[in-house]
Amino acid sequence: MTYPHPILAKEGWPFIGTSIAVALAVMVFAGGWWSVPLWLIALFVVQFFRDPARPVPQGARDVLSPADGRVVVVEPVEDPYLKRPSLKISVFMNVFNVHSNRSPVDGDVQQRWYDPGAFVNAALDKASTENERNALWIKTRDGQDVTCVQVAGLIARRILCYVDKGTKLARGERYGFIRFGSRVDVYLPPASRARVTVGERVSATSTVLAELP
């Protein structure tokens, strides 16, 4: 897929530039050995903000993973935004995962909700209702409702979302970013069939989380 930015996410450019500049300055003025820890930090920052293109599955009912990480929840619950029974699938991102968020389906954004919340460990279930979060209600081309929620974590302090009500999204399209550890919850129609299990590693866009009914 072609993105309107290079393989390194635009959100990371200031952090990457600063970390490399500091490492260079220390190397020049204090010597190579003193700069080694700073180069390691710069390398970590670069890997954190990587944002590779991914193949996009084209199954008509496929729900794609909106994030890289590990599946921590697959269970029937009530969608807290649409107030209806749903199948919830949650993906937890650690600091070594890609943190760019991609649309799980083709559809139109019907509504967006933001809650400043708290910052507990994003791997815990209560993060879905207590943490800072940004939710999108997406209606697919055939009328199915999907809720996709960015949830900040213990370290994450910034959720970025670039779409709002009325935006048309294509599956796999980049719509946001979360800095430094977090999760994404997806609420699907209850008859949806999960294609992943708890503990499974998934990749944004290229992994199919579920099939819509």
What is this structure's pTM? Answer: 0.85
**Residue 182 annotated to the active site:** yes
- 189-205 mean pLDDT: 96
Residue 26 placed within a domain: yes
Same domain? 40 vs 66: no
Active-site residue among 182, 192, 203, 206? 182
- Rg, the chain, Cα only: 18
Pick the closest to residue 177 from 2, 3, 22, 17 (CA basis).
3
Residue 142 placed within a domain: yes
Same domain? 27 vs 82: no
Same domain? 98 vs 147: yes
The helix or strand, by DSSP H or E, that contains position 98, with its residue range, turns out to be none
Same domain? 165 vs 102: yes
The fraction of the chain above a pLDDT of 70, given in percent, is 90
Q: How sure is the predictor about 98, in pLDDT bands with cuts at 50, 70 and 90?
A: confident
Residue 131 placed within a domain: yes
- 29-47 mean pLDDT: 88
Same domain? 148 vs 173: yes
Q: What's the structural domain count of the chain?
A: 2
Give the domain range for residue 76.
Answer: 62-211
